[in-house]
Structure formats: structure tokens, C-alpha cells
Amino acid sequence: RIVKKFKKERRVGLYVDLHGHSSKPNVFVYGCQASLWREWFSGYTQGPPAQYSELVFPTLLGERCSIFSMEGCSFKVRKSKVATGRAVMWHDGIQHVFTLESSFGGASQGPCAGRHFGIQDLRNIGRDVCTVVWDMYGTNTEANFRRIVA
């Protein structure tokens, strides 16, 4: 309800749900497959426009965050996940929707490999997410989208 009210006043460009993951290592995202966008909106017939690419946010985050694992990401919405925040927000028309997962077990790559994440590591992830939001919606928006989607 809060998001719907907010959407009446402003455009919501990104939704990120923060989670801890119990078994998979590193930091990664679960997203929604942009190629399926038109299945949700039957009136849209030409395929998703570039800005709906599910790869923009995680690609930019991977460039900024050394403990982010693109290989750990998944962009499928299984039937058991259709009621999750990301699937509901995506169905509601928000362009970039993700669950950002940080492993309780720590990292298997980068500077944190072999140890649990500490408070500073989590702060750094938060800083990197904020920087990526700026990269997506700040001054170089078009260049970043074209570089990744093209």
C-alpha cells in the first residue's frame, strides 16, 4: 500500500529488498527476468525496452563491489516466489526489482574470502549500492545503460 501511494506522487525506479542468505556464499541478487516483462503486461508487444534489463543494477554493483558475485545471481521467478516482494513490485511495474542477498557464511571470493562479513563489509556494500543508484539515475544514466544493455 505504501509503494502504491508513493507511486502516485513519484516514479519508483528501483526496489531492493535486503536479505541474509544461509547457504550461498558472497553477495548476489535475485531479480526478475526482463524478457518476461510482456507476459505480465499483455498489451506490450515489442519486447522490453533497454531500461528494463535485469542486468544493469547487478552489473554496476559487480563493478563497484569486490564481494559481489554475478555468478551467484538468478533472474528467474519460480512459482513459489510469485508472492515475494520483488515479484509483486515487478508485477506492479517497477523497472528494477531485486532481492540483495548477503551470505551469513561470508565470501568465497575477493578480499573477504574465507571469512564472515563484518559490520564494515556490510557498510561498504551499502555504500556501493548507493553509488550504483547514482550511476543508474544520476548524470551518466544513458551512457551506463547503453554500455551494459547494448
Q: How far is CA 9 from CA 6, 92, 150, in A?
A: 5, 15, 31
Name the 3-class secondary structure at 67: coil
Q: Is 101 a catalytic residue?
A: yes
> Residue for cell digits 506490450?
44
Any idea what DSSP says for residue 74? B
* Positive or negative: CA dihedral 34, 25, 85, 118: negative
Residue of 9, 63, 101, 142 with catalytic role: 101
Instruction: Give yes or no for a contact between 12 and 94, defined as CB atoms under 8 angstroms apart.
Output: yes
Nearest to 90 by CA among 12, 1, 8: 12
Q: How far is CA 107 from CA 8, 12, 103, 113, in A?
A: 40, 31, 7, 5
The catalytic residues are 101
